[in-house]
């Protein structure tokens, strides 16, 4: 018995020692990762700025929980902050050590039009500084070609091709599915063009929604094409757009030959040939990998020169992503988080003005009002408030813009969508199919409402619709006060309709067309700061230590996407489409509170990666609907 106890004791001690050793190894691994994750400015040397984009470009990258990623086995898509790439290109144009820029778009998944335009302008500035820009990809699509068009020389893999299609396509509608499953979607909305909830009400797109989207698509795409043609005038893009099948058949399906013959690309070669070409011109790389050339990355470029910090500070607060209640990390415009960030900025004595950078399709009305009130507090402190609209500033994104002294947008900005809605599902018909009914006693017309199991009463529907209509009147009033219009004038251009930036300016929804630099300059002017007497100070949500240290362990997993040739891209888009269906269905149950949200704006948002974790949600949905 004593021997057994001694053996057990040794076993317990051994397990304890093993766990202690494991924790120590983990600690030192984390320490090593933290020390090595900091960019080294010494890595910038004579050579090429390698702008390798393996993911999407966004206004504010979303936080990724590395532990969750490791445990789920789902590799997150990498996101690049637009202003980081813009600044890296600005520095590259000025730094004599930078001889050229390599734009690797093989795994680029897209970005908003405003983001692509801002980066395209900086690529042009690099070329004007006498430094060539070289682009490479297996296949070029709308977003990637918008960037590649600015290159001095475009390379493409001989097995790839160029396929430019323009915006548009179909979306899914669920009325038939909801009817068959017995789910009743109770929709309360205001706005003739508020098509965000149409997938739950109709089996097709309404004429009003088609009219609004067609107008925005035409303006959006005309501007995009004009920029691409200006950047690459010799490219025969129109032929590929008007008769793509005929053009491709005429080239016997050889997309690479078609692209080269039409001036869309300059050279055909694989990645190694591209690297060898750069190595011959700018020097060999330090490693012995085939195709290696003397290069450094964006992080090293940014670390080579710190931003200016002299003079008065202009606070920049970003509201990016869906507007939601409560707190959230970067990439989500949570009401508590963004409003608290604004209060933190205006409490800083060095801050002389505030710029709100908006890139949001909207969301919760309550959270939108939280953010608006924080901006009102800034106005009470006599601080100039400037709004800079990025890719999207629709619905709630416009709501939070109303306190601004000046609103800047760009031609590619999607804004408006002034309208609100509420959605609540009930399951009385679904339950009745499996023999479950409900009954009870009510002490008032609203007792027990909303009754998810027995169905909503007429009184509740009337109350809910009345509340939504009152919220719409509030929205109109806020816009009218801020834009110097009557509520009737705003209503005529509201009704949930979206507008592109140029038309929005003509309608008076925005004041000027301009980029972030213009908004900062206007803020400095209104704060009466000298031209060189100010700097931008970015106020971001507090970072979580897990995302900084442990993030380095999943960093290598960002590159799990295959090269984006035609068929790989099509497969990837199918995965996105499947996830969109389940996201729409999940949205029916997850909407909390009255919403000022533009769901139809998703097509204009930066591309996101497929998330394998969504398969679990899909399985749950089909399991639920099959019962």
127-137 confidence digits (pLDDT tens) = 999 999 999 99
Report the pLDDT averaged over residues 96-105.
Answer: 96
**What are the extents of the domains in the chain?**
1-37, 44-168+237-303
Please list the residues that pair with 364 across neighbouring strands: 595
Which one, of 416, 5, 516, 428, lies nearest residue 215 by Cα? 416
Where residue 586 falls among pLDDT bands split at 50, 70, 90?
A: low
State residue 193's pLDDT score: 58
Is-cis flag, bond preceding 313, omega within 30?
A: no
Count other Cβ atoms within 10 Å, centred on residue 560: 14
State residue 561's pLDDT score: 52
Residue 134 in contact with residue 152, Cβ under 8 Å?
A: yes
Where residue 62 falls among pLDDT bands split at 50, 70, 90?
A: confident
Mind telling me the catalytic residues?
194, 395
Residue 409 in contact with residue 387, Cβ under 8 Å?
A: no
What mean pLDDT value characterizes the chain?
83
pLDDT tens digit sequence for 153-177: 999 999 999 999 888 888 888 888 8
State residue 5's pLDDT score: 65
Q: Classify strands 55-58 and 351-360 as parallel, antiparallel or unpaired.
A: unpaired
The model carries a pTM of 0.83
pLDDT tens digit sequence for 325-358: 988 889 899 999 999 999 999 999 999 999 999 9
State residue 119's pLDDT score: 97
Better-predicted residue by pLDDT, 42 or 498: 498
pLDDT at 60 over 70: yes
pLDDT at 85 over 80: yes
State residue 421's pLDDT score: 80
In angstroms, the CA 39 to CA 198 distance is 48
pLDDT tens digit sequence for 509-553: 999 999 999 999 999 999 999 988 899 999 988 655 444 444 444
Q: Assign domain 44-168+237-303 to a CATH class.
A: alpha beta
pLDDT at 226 over 50: yes
């Amino acid at each position: 018995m004593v021997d057994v106890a001694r053996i057990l004791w040794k076993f317990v001690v051994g397990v304890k020692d093993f766990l202690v050793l494991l924790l120590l190894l983990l600690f030192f691994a984390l320490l090593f990762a933290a020390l090595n994750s900091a960019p080294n400015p010494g890595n910038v040397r004579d050579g090429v700025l390698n702008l390798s984009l393996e993911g999407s470009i966004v206004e504010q990258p979303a936080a990724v929980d590395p532990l969750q990623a490791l445990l789920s086995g789902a590799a997150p898509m990498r996101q690049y902050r637009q202003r980081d790439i813009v600044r890296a290109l600005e520095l590259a144009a000025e730094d004599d050590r930078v001889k050229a820029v390599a734009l690797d778009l093989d795994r680029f998944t897209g970005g908003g039009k405003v983001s692509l335009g801002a980066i395209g302008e900086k690529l042009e500035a690099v070329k004007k500084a006498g430094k060539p820009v070289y682009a490479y990809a297996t296949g070029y699509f709308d977003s990637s070609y918008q960037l590649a068009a600015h290159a001095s020389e475009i390379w493409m893999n001989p097995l790839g091709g160029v396929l430019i299609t323009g915006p548009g396509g179909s979306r899914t509608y669920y009325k038939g599915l909801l009817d068959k499953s017995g789910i009743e979607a109770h929709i309360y909305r205001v706005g003739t063009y508020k098509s965000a909830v149409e997938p739950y009400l109709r089996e097709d797109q309404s004429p009003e929604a088609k009219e609004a989207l067609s107008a925005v698509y035409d303006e959006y795409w005309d501007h995009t094409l004009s920029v691409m043609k200006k950047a690459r005038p010799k490219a025969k893009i129109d032929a590929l757009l008007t008769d793509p099948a005929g053009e491709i058949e005429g080239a016997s399906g050889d997309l690479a030959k078609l692209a080269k013959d039409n001036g869309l690309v300059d050279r055909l070669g694989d990645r190694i040939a591209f690297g060898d070409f750069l190595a011959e011109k700018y020097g060999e790389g330090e490693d012995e990998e085939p195709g290696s050339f003397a290069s450094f990355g964006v992080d090293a470029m940014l670390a080579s020169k710190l931003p200016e910090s002299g003079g008065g500070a202009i606070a920049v607060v970003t509201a990016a992503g869906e507007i939601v209640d409560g707190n959230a990390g970067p990439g989500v415009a949570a009401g508590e988080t963004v409003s608290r960030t604004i209060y933190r900025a205006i409490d800083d004595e060095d801050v002389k003005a505030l710029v709100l950078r908006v890139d949001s399709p909207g969301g919760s009305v309550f959270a939108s009002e939280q953010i608006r009130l924080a901006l009102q507090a800034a106005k009470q402190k006599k601080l100039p408030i400037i709004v800079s609209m990025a890719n999207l500033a629709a619905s709630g994104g416009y709501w939070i813009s109303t306190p601004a002294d000046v609103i800047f947008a760009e031609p590619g900005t999607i804004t408006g969508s002034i309208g609100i809605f509420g959605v609540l599902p009930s399951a009385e018909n679904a339950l009745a199919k499996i023999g479950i009914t409900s009954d009870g006693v009510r002490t008032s017309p609203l007792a027990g409402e909303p009754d998810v199991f027995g169905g909503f009463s007429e009184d509740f529907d009337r109350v809910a619709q009345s509340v939504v209509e009152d919220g719409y009147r509030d929205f109109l009033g806020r816009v009218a006060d801020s834009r110097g219009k009557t509520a009737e004038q705003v209503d005529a251009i509201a009704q949930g309709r979206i507008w592109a930036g140029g038309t929005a300016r003509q309608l008076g929804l925005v004041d000027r067309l301009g980029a972030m630099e213009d908004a900062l300059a206007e803020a400095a002017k209104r704060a009466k700061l000298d031209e060189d007497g100010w700097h931008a100070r970015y106020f971001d949500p507090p970072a979580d230590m897990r995302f900084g240290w442990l993030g380095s362990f999943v960093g290598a997993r960002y590159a799990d996407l295959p090269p984006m040739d035609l068929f790989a891209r099509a497969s990837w888009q199918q995965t996105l489409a499947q996830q969109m269906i389940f996201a729409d269905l999940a949205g029916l149950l997850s909407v909390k509170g009255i919403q000022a949200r533009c769901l139809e704006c998703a097509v204009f948002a930066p591309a996101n990666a497929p998330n394998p974790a969504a398969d679990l949600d899909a399985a749950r949905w089909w399991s639920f609907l099959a019962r």
